[in-house]
């Protein structure tokens, strides 16, 4: 399924957890990995005759730190019996990662979980990679834990992107021998009154319709799991999708989700359920882009 896994690192704690999870998957899937460090341009350094020496020293220190981070991943890979290739690059980290992405089947990377206006408008390396990667991206936040993936959460809303993620998640579960939980959140059963207000339920007729739609999506997902030979359970729940997924994820080792690939200002400011889950989940999230091959 995954033969080549790309593991970018910046030497941070969340990058190390991401590397450990990537190596765990590589070991179980008999895949090889590429550990990548990208030396970003020092755009915040004001160049003057007096500062040139400090610029050179800083760049050298960053190169050394990157090589130490790569050496650590290489050592972990050898202990796990995983073939590990080392790659150093120069340039914007996201662009370096995306340039190598087509030659790999999966990207496993950490994110520092920035929040507030800076997070929404400027984004992070992980955010830019998620937006543009043609391959699945496994995102590990600070505070997430690496370990054997035995239980996978597969949220679905019946859409084409979620169905693609569903089948991808089922294939991964089968290879890993993991069980899955299929989750449908009945978010449409409630009227939204704004971020400061609570949700209130719709009338009984609409409620029955929403439940029927959700149950149909879960029945289809259960049929797919049965066909794939994967042990599965289905859950139909009510409330905001992000809240329900984040809560359910606490008892799982991995969440697999699709993305609708919105663009423009709406995509940048409003985000999506997938982005909301990534920002809040205590569990690593595997994002399957809509264009990934089945």
What confidence tier does 272 reach under pLDDT thresholds 50, 70, 90? Answer: confident
Residue 122: per-residue pLDDT: 34
C-alpha distances in angstroms, 64 versus 106, 127, 177?
27, 26, 40
| pLDDT tens digits, 217-229 | 999 999 999 999 9
Residue 79 near residue 20, CB atoms below 8 Å? no
pLDDT score recorded for residue 294: 62
Q: pTM value?
A: 0.86
Q: Do domains 4-140 and 151-283 have the same CATH topology?
A: yes
Cα dist from 268 to 125, 132, 186, whole Å = 15, 13, 25
Q: Show me where the domains of the chain are located.
A: 4-140, 151-283
Overall fold of domain 4-140:
Rossmann fold (3.40.50)
Pick the CATH number of 151-283 from 3.40.50.620, 3.80.10.10, 1.10.3720.10, 1.10.10.60: 3.40.50.620
* Mean pLDDT along residues 90-110: 96
Please report the pLDDT score of residue 147 as a whole number.
84
Taking the alpha carbons of 150, 136, 29, 15 in that order, is the dihedral positive or negative? negative
Identify which has the larger pLDDT, 45 or 249.
249
Strand-pairing partners, residue 182, are 154, 234
pLDDT number for residue 73: 98
What is the C-alpha separation between 251 and 233, in angstroms, rounded?
A: 13
Helix (H) / strand (E) containing 126: helix 125-132
Q: Pick the more confident residue, 119 or 239.
A: 239
Span 39-82, pLDDT tens digits: 987 765 455 565 566 667 778 888 999 999 999 999 999 999 99
43-47, 54-58, 157-161, 273-277: the lowest-pLDDT one: 43-47
**pLDDT the model gives residue 259:** 83
pLDDT in tens, 178-212: 999 999 998 865 544 455 445 555 556 677 888 89
Report yes or no: 245 and 155 within 8 Å, Cβ to Cβ: yes
Q: Which two tokens stand for residue 49?
A: 């005759």
- Please tell me the distance from the alpha carbon of residue 290 to that of residue 262, in angstroms, as a whole number: 11
């Amino acid at each position: 399924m995954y033969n080549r896994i790309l593991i970018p690192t910046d030497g941070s704690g969340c990058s190390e957890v991401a590397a450990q999870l990537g190596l765990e998957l590589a070991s179980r899937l008999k895949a090889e990995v590429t550990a990548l460090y990208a030396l970003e341009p020092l755009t915040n350094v004001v160049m003057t005759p007096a500062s040139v020496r400090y610029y050179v020293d800083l760049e050298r220190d960053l190169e050394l730190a990157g090589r130490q981070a790569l050496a650590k991943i290489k050592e972990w890979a050898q202990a796990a019996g995983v073939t590990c290739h080392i790659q150093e690059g120069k340039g914007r980290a996201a662009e370096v990662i995306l340039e190598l992405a087509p030659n790999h089947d999966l990207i496993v990377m950490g994110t520092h979980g920035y929040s507030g206006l800076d997070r929404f408008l400027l984004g992070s390396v992980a955010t830019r990679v998620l937006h543009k990667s043609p391959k699945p991206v496994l995102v590990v936040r600070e505070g997430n834990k690496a370990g054997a993936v035995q239980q996978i959460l597969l949220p679905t809303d019946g859409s084409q992107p979620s169905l693609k993620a569903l089948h991808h998640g089922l294939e991964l579960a089968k290879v890993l021998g993991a069980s899955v939980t299929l989750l449908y959140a009945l978010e449409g059963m409630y009227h939204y009154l704004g971020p400061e207000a609570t949700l209130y339920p719709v009338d009984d007729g609409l409620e029955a319709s929403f439940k029927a739609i959700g149950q149909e999506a879960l029945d289809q997902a259960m049929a797919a799991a049965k066909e794939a030979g994967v042990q599965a359970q289905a859950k139909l729940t009510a409330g905001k999708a992000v809240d329900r997924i984040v809560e359910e994820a606490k008892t799982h080792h991995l969440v697999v989700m699709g993305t609708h690939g919105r663009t423009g200002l709406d995509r940048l400011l409003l985000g999506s359920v997938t982005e909301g889950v990534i920002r809040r989940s205590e569990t690593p999230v595997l994002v399957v882009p809509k264009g990934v091959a089945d």
